[in-house]
Amino acid sequence: MSDGRSKGRVGARGDQTVATSMADPVAFTAAAETAQVGLYIQQDGLFRYVNPFLARQFGYAAEELVGQRGPLDLVLADAESFRLEARGGGGADVYAPACETIARRQDGSMFPVRIVSAPLTIDGRPATTGTVFDLSAQRAAEARIRELADFDSLTGLPNRRLLLDRLLQLVAGAEREETPFALLCLDLDNFKRINDSFGHSVGDELLCAVARRLCSAVRRVDTLARLGGDEFILAMPGTAAAGAADLARRLLDACNAPFIVAGHDLTVTPSLGVTTYPQDGKDIETLLRNADVAMYKAKEQGRNTFQFYTAEMNTATFERLMLEGNLRRAVRNGELLLHYQPLVHLGSGRIIGVEALVRWHHPDLGLIMPDRFIHVAEETGLINPIGDWVLGEACRQAQAWIAAGLPPLVMAVNVAPEQFRQTGFVAAVAGALANSGLDPMLLELEVTERTVMNGAEVNIGTLTALHRMGVELSLDDFGTGYSSLAYLKRFPVGKLKIDRSFVRDLEHDADDQAIASTIVSMGRSLRLAVLAEGVESREQLVLLRAMGCDMAQGYFFSRPLPGEEIIELLRRQPFLLKE
């Protein structure tokens, strides 16, 4: 070894004095000492020099490495690709110019590295200089990229991409082994209400809680994936119809208990559709589509249940899609119209208002009643433009009747839950009144009991804003929901409507009589008017009058009529009581 005056000396750090053929060994040493990557020089299989960064990388002191260990001592035993056995030249180890391998720290922990080396001459004999790059951060980033590509970022479940890959394997295995499997499509019922009432952060936490609970109910071999929103897909290998039904019941039971999210006790139920291979399809697209069809059938059956796919469902789905497409056209082309049903004051028999009810005049099918298309409008988001049109047209018509010489009367308009909860609903009401010129006191908005009680604290603000505007408010379908009297007295409503289900058998059913009478008494105590809907017989009318009910509507008086026909009824006032 040369002494300290040798041109080949690269540095002296303990016994790390190394003579090399480098042009400027002093500069090399200065740069190596401060470098933020691991640098070394080895000769005869042992380190002749390591920089401080490399020593820290592996958890050693420099003197524990130099002359004591070599590069092969710091990589896994099976990482032989790192070393090339030289034939000749004294049999010295020669290292691959670049390779990736697994390194081992002094404490035994492993980490991925990339080692780049180059030949060197020290004291006239071959050696190697190398750079060690820690790939841990890069590998973590790559793993995260793979995770983002294959897994849902919110719940950590497989996403659509990974699900489709696993389904491809599942179909291939099922074809080869002639075994069945089942797919289950799960959608949460009325999840949008939770987002609207509590915010998307609570909704996201709820989705994670649901995912955890669903995972606890499925088998290890099953794949539970989230496709987006509140829709989940479960693939069940080796499962026929009976097994799929058992698992569907377990998933329903798993969601029965409330979810505690952000301090709220939230209840959310699932609707499930089940399809099986090969009975319901032999390709992924068909099976997923049929599972989705079955899931929507479960929703139609009342939600919180499961349905197996049947071929007949495709026909119903096709009809629904046709209905949806035609309904969108109807909104654009002005095919909607309003009919009006009179609201009769029972003390005098005078028609004091009308309720506006939407109809669809289809160019080929004629008049279509709302029970055939309102649910489609709600599911597709069309209910908001339809509701806004109804509100504007009802206000316009009411003002037009006043301009034609009819006395002012109340125009009652039903408000769908989705319409009531949409941002800007109060502004939409104000716009309809301003455009028509109608006095706000002549507009009555009917909201269902369930609508206002779902997120009552938020809804009180909307109701109060409408009340301050001068709009009358009516609580529809009263008695069918879960009203709290504590809230009821805070709601600025002026009227309760007795649901038709309590009026239908009023003359025969003592329980219905007791409920109707209680609602009337409650209304009187709270200084609210009470209207009974669905009155169809004189006997019902007599009982309601005896209870002290204020108003009624129903086929006993009149079915809903087009605007031109209701004018004649308003002029004649045929239900006035004789003195």
Every domain of the chain and the residues it spans: 25-139, 151-309, 326-572
The yes-or-no answer to whether 25-139 and 326-572 have a common fold is no
pLDDT by position in tens, the chain (length 579) = 333 333 333 433 434 444 444 556 667 777 888 888 999 999 988 999 999 999 999 999 999 999 999 988 898 855 555 554 333 333 345 566 788 889 999 999 999 999 998 898 888 899 989 999 999 998 888 877 776 778 898 999 999 999 999 999 999 999 999 999 999 999 999 888 888 888 889 999 999 999 999 999 999 999 999 998 999 999 999 999 999 999 999 999 999 889 999 888 898 999 999 999 998 999 999 999 999 989 988 998 888 999 998 877 766 666 666 778 888 889 889 999 999 999 999 999 999 999 999 999 988 888 989 988 888 888 788 999 999 999 999 999 999 999 999 999 999 999 998 899 888 899 999 999 999 999 999 999 999 877 877 766 778 888 999 999 999 999 887 766 555 566 677 788 899 999 898 999 999 999 999 999 999 998 898 899 999 999 999 999 999 999 999 999 999 999 999 999 999 999 999 999 875
For 253, the enclosing helix (H) or strand (E) is: helix 241-254
**CATH architecture of the domain with range 326-572:** Alpha-Beta Barrel (3.20)
- Give CA–CA dist 456/468, Å, rounded: 18
What pairs with residue 131 in β-bridges?
Answer: 39, 116
Task: Return d(Cα 58, Cα 69) in angstroms, integer.
Answer: 12
What DSSP designation does 372 have? G
Q: Give 489-516 as a DSSP string.
A: TTS---EEEE-HHHHTTTTT-HHHHHHH
Please give the Cα distance from 403 to 439 (Å, whole number): 13
Torsion angles phi and psi, residue 276, rounded to 5: -125, 150
Count of beta carbons in the 10 Å neighbourhood of residue 501? 14
The answer to whether the CB of 143 falls within 8 A of the CB of 149 is no
pLDDT for the residue 26: 66
Helices (H) and strands (E) in the chain, counts: 21, 24
CB-based contacts of 10, cutoff 8 Å, min separation 6: 17, 18, 19, 20, 22, 25, 26, 28, 29, 41, 49
CATH number for the domain whose boundaries are 151-309: 3.30.70.270
Residue of 164, 161, 163, 166 whose CA lies nearest to 149: 161
Q: What is the CA radius of gyration of the chain?
A: 39
Distance CA 445, CA 431 (A): 15
Tokens of 204: 């996201």
Given a contact cutoff of 8 angstroms between Cβ atoms, the answer to whether 71 and 86 are in contact is: no
Cβ pair 248, 239 in contact under 8 A: no
**Residue positions counted in the chain:** 579
Q: What type of residue sits at position 197?
A: S
Model pLDDT, residue 315: 63
For residue 364, the model assigns a pLDDT of 81
Going by C-alpha positions, the residue among 439, 497, 496 that lies closest to residue 469 is 439
Inter-axis angle of helices 425-436 and 383-403, to 10 degrees?
30
Q: Name the strands in the sheet holding 125-134, side by side, starting at the edge strand that comes first in the sequence.
A: 46-50, 38-43, 125-134, 110-122, 98-104
**Which pLDDT does position 483 carry in this prediction?**
53
* CATH fourth-level superfamily of 25-139: PAS domain (3.30.450.20)
Strands 231-237 and 181-188: antiparallel
Half-sphere exposure of 63 (CA within 13 A, CB side): 4
CA distance to 355, 502, 529, 551, 554, per residue, from 496 (Å) = 14, 13, 6, 10, 16
